[in-house]
Amino acid sequence: MDFIDSIYSLIVRYRADLLNATVLTLELTIASFTIGFVLGLLISVGRTYGHALLKVPLATFIEIIRGTPMIVQLFYIYYVLPAFGVKLDAFTASLIAIGLNSSAYQAEYFRMSFGAIQRGQWEAALSIGLSKWSAVFNIIIPQGLRIVIPALLNELIYLLKYSSVAYFVTVPELIYTSKIIGARTLLHLQIYTVVAVFYIVVSTLFTTIMSLVEKKSRIPGLVIRGRETP
């Protein structure tokens, strides 16, 4: 009971700091996911359907991002770019680093979802007179977005946890704030228990929301590489 009481006292005492850190963590997660979604979709479309000269640099970008740790990318943006005259605050640097990292992974998710759509739909779109890009934006992408939802859910949950890398450039997100509170109170077990519960609750909430979105957007009878969706 003393453990529960100490957690309650900790939350009450530092509720403002914890609330601010929670909001910042969610802002960083959702904003970086949005950046990754937009850039990832554009990169995937360019790599899959764009000109050959465009595919090589896009594929190179993806390999560089996926082949290097996110923390290295963050340090490069925050510590190296100022040498070239580009100085960013810690939050902006973290947002760009996490967003770019996510875009490379989301681009691959989108590319796989496009590839899962039956070739016959592409051929049918062209046969009724649609141009290549009309077929991409009106036939392929809308279906691809529905197929990719489970992968996007995983990415969103990953980003919730990966947002903690901002700790290393002193962004006062949840992990950074919890470390400070733990150092002040020596109640490390209690404060990190609170943090763990937060991540579990928010991850469950994200899962519930994305599951509802997937259910609402499901297309009955849609065939994905020989498999019919319910």
pLDDT at 224: 53
Q: Which of 157, 148, 132, 154 is closest to 217 using CA atoms? A: 148
Domains and CATH numbers, the chain: 2-228 (1.10.3720.10)
Residues 71-125: tens digit of each pLDDT: 999 999 999 999 999 999 999 999 999 999 999 999 999 999 988 888 777 778 8
- The pLDDT tens digits for 142-189 are 888 888 988 998 999 999 999 999 999 999 999 999 999 999 999 999
pTM of the shown model: 0.88
pLDDT value at position 136? 87
Q: What is the pLDDT of residues 44-76, one digit of tens each?
A: 999 998 888 899 999 999 999 999 999 999 999
Residue 211: what pLDDT? 82
SS3 string, the chain, reads CHHHHHHHHHHHHCHHHHHHHHHHHHHHHHHHHHHHHHHHHHHHHHHHHCCHHHHHHHHHHHHHHHHCCHHHHHHHHHHHHHHHCCCCCHHHHHHHHHHHHHHHHHHHHHHHHHHCECHHHHHHHHHCCCCHHHHHHHHHHHHHHHHCHHHHHHHHHHHHHHHHHHHHHCCCCHHHHHHHHHHHHCCHHHHHHHHHHHHHHHHHHHHHHHHHHHHHHCCCCCEECCEECC
| CA 13 to chain CA centroid, nearest Å | 32
